[in-house]
Structure formats: structure tokens, C-alpha cells
Amino acid sequence: MGRGRQKAKQTKVARELKYFSPETNYRALEQELTSHSHNDLGDRRGGAAVDTADDDEDDYGRWSDDDR
């Protein structure tokens, strides 16, 4: 396929994506947003929610020069 035809096809696809507006299901969006509590966010990101209050003391301890 020549460069002109390739560019025309890309332009067509880009235009379709730009002006495409799917129907928004607001009820499903509301259910998704209200079904998860604040503590569930850690579980959805692949790890448990972590309390960092105790961890702040020694974040850079392994890089300190105190062990000379």
C-alpha cells in the first residue's frame, strides 16, 4: 500500500475515533463508583492497603553512611 493510501486510512481511523461518542451507562458507572469503599483500593491495585505511619522513620536507613 502506498504512503498516500496509508495516510488516508490512518486519517479516517483517527477521525472516527475523534468523533465517536458511545452511549454512557450512568447507572453502571454509579454502581461501580459506590460499590468500592476507600479501603478496597489497595486490593484492586494488586496489594493490600498499607499503613505508612510506622514505616516513615527508616525509609532511607539502608543507604545511610552510619555503618562505617
Q: Which residue has the higher pLDDT, 51 or 33?
A: 33
pLDDT for 58 equals 64
In this structure, what C-alpha cell is assigned to residue 23?
452511549
- Average pLDDT in the chain: 75
pLDDT for 22 equals 84
pLDDT for 15 equals 94
Domain positions in the chain are 1-34
pLDDT in tens, 18-48: 998 888 899 999 999 998 655 555 555 555 5
Largest CA distance in the chain: 67
pLDDT for 41 equals 53
Task: Give CA–CA dist 61/68, Å, rounded.
Answer: 13
